[in-house]
Structure 1
């Protein structure tokens, strides 16, 4: 894909039980912010997202064809620099539809920083120690962040 930024893969920190990926997107912070906070934009590159409001405390779901509906909550927001979500994303644990299991969920934070020609976006997901299989979930989410953030870069840099 000519013209699309080339970014490094996600990294697992086994000691801290986190997944981190930093990418560069040739798009302004405002556009990237909308893409990671507004359900209609998130749904274009990630999972089909619905939230009952905006800002910290908003609740909803992120739905994937292969995984179904995953409960989601906005934990923190500092526009346009940081947004943190909590989600139930552990296939091995049963959950009630729509119920966020705070004790067995992970959190992911997007941090945005303006850079020359675009935005540096970092995602850090933590809380894997509370999942059913931390090593398997870390590996799965590492791959997931690579696929999903590559879709975000392609979407924003294609002018969509």
Structure 2
């Protein structure tokens, strides 16, 4: 069974923003910990090492990217527990990413943005972020993590059609 795609694209002055949202049943502080503490990020994204904080760079070992070297992640902005902006880079280049969290009555809304210069590779990028964000939801909910085959190639055509533009 494949997961339904949820992302949408918005044109910007610099290119495009890929927006994905999720609702998490946990309060803001718990979700913030799940996206910033290395032992918690290890459950859904990958553990990281280094000194966290705005202006620093950490190394992330992506758990679902078997055999790939760690990614360098520069923390561009960190306004705990609401906003995190990073630039993630590896041998394929750099990705500008942002996360905004808000809480309402014990539920946390997550808005994830991947700032894109072009739409090259969107058919792979979109399903990849859907996969990782659903892994976050599963880790917070303490349910089994989804497999990548639920996202790719099933969502590729949706993203190649440039949703939301």
Once the two structures are overlaid, the 10-residue window that deviates more, 73-82 or 109-118, is 109-118
Gaps of 5+ in 2: 144-165
Q: What is the TM-score normalised by the length of structure 2?
A: 0.72
Deviation at 1:90, TM superposition (A): 6.2
Contact preservation (8 Å) 2:5, 2:127: no
Cα distance in 1 for partners of 2:5, 2:106 equals 18
Q: What is the TM-score normalised by the length of structure 1?
A: 0.74
Cα distance in 2 for partners of 1:125, 1:90 equals 18
Query: How many residues matched?
Result: 137
Give me the CA root mean square deviation: 2.5
Q: Which residue of 2 aligns with 1:60?
A: 58
Render the CA deviation track for 1:98-138: whole Å, top value 9, x for unaligned: xxxxxx52211110000234100001011x32xxxx32333
Deviation at 1:46, TM superposition (A): 0.6
Contact preservation (8 Å) 2:52, 2:58: no
Deviation at 1:57, TM superposition (A): 1.6
Gaps of 5+ in 1: 1-5, 92-103
Cα distance in 1 for partners of 2:46, 2:17 equals 21
- Runs of 4+ displaced beyond 6 Å: none
Deviation at 1:77, TM superposition (A): 0.7
Q: Which residue of 2 aligns with 1:150?
A: 134
Deviation at 1:83, TM superposition (A): 0.8
Contact preservation (8 Å) 2:85, 2:97: yes
